């Protein structure tokens, strides 16, 4: 098999950015309303460095220890880091203030722990609320009903900046089949926004990955998490 070159990585980055722009245009949106989060789980730091040179700006990590090591190795390039994986409560102290945005707040208890640690650190941590949009037993996240019931508790956490919602829809055969789930997330966000709670700002929708990010953009995604389409298949 032919080995990858730096040019091929740069080409894929540019292709993904072009596809984002085209999907935004189809939806009548400005391309600036959509940001690419490069999902870098298991990708070596030097490979990420090449990606940053090719135009990547936001990096998303799933595993805390792996993320902290890469943050140290890439500090000279000052990339912006998002945490996109399941966050364990015992790892919250490491996450607060380290990541520009935590995508995966999946319970009131986790939100409360982030709030406590952020208060201790003297910061306000930006987060998204993860929604189990299809009610899958195998996935974490708020149910739609459960999130609506928890809004009062979440809105009372002074050290959080709740910026919007995140979801991972069920696996589908065709990207188009994910569309109803992305639409449901946007509609849920609209219902929350209608509550007019100043502490719950529904401005970010993190949805869509390598196989379906264009459909997600057409349905309102502001953050798309793309890994395989940039870096190739993961080697866990």
pLDDT digits (tens, 9 = 90+) for 164-191: 999 999 999 999 999 999 999 999 999 9
Contact 188, 165 (CB under 8 A): yes
DSSP code of 142?
Answer: B
Q: What does the pLDDT read at residue 3?
A: 45
Q: What does the pLDDT read at residue 6?
A: 58
As given in the structure block, the two tokens for residue 164 are: 């919007």
Q: What does the pLDDT read at residue 2?
A: 40
* Length of the chain measured in residues: 236
Question: CA 148 to CA 88: how far, in whole Å?
Answer: 23
Comparing C-alpha atoms, which of 122, 124, 127, 132 is closest to residue 185?
A: 132
pLDDT digit string, tens, across residues 69-93: 999 999 999 999 999 999 999 999 9
As given in the structure block, the two tokens for residue 57 are: 């700006």
Q: What does the pLDDT read at residue 233?
A: 82
Whether the per-residue pLDDT at 24 is higher than 80: the answer is yes
Question: CA 36 to CA 156: how far, in whole Å?
Answer: 31
pTM of the model: 0.95
């Amino acid at each position: 098999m032919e080995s990858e070159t730096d040019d091929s990585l740069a080409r894929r980055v540019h292709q993904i950015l072009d596809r984002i722009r085209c999907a935004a245009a189809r939806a009548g949106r400005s391309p600036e309303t959509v940001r690419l989060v490069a999902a870098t789980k298991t990708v070596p730091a030097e490979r990420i460095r090449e990606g940053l040179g090719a135009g990547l700006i936001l990096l998303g990590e799933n595993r805390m220890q792996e993320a902290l090591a890469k943050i140290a190795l890439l500090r000279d390039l000052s990339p912006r880091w998002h945490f996109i994986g399941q966050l364990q409560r015992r790892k919250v102290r490491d996450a607060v203030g380290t990541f520009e945005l935590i995508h995966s707040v999946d319970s009131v208890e986790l939100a409360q722990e982030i709030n406590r640690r952020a208060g201790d650190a003297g910061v306000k941590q930006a987060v998204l609320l993860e929604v189990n949009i299809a009610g899958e037993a195998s996935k974490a996240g708020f149910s739609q009903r459960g999130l609506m019931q928890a809004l009062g508790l979440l809105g009372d956490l002074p050290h959080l900046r709740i910026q919007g919602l995140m979801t991972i829809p069920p696996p589908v055969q065709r990207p188009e089949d994910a569309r109803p789930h992305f639409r449901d997330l946007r509609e849920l966000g609209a219902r929350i926004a209608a509550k007019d709670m100043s502490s719950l700002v529904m401005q970010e929708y993190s949805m869509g990955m390598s196989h379906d990010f264009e459909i997600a953009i057409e349905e309102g995604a502001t953050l798309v998490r793309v890994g395989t389409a940039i870096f190739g298949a993961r080697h866990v």
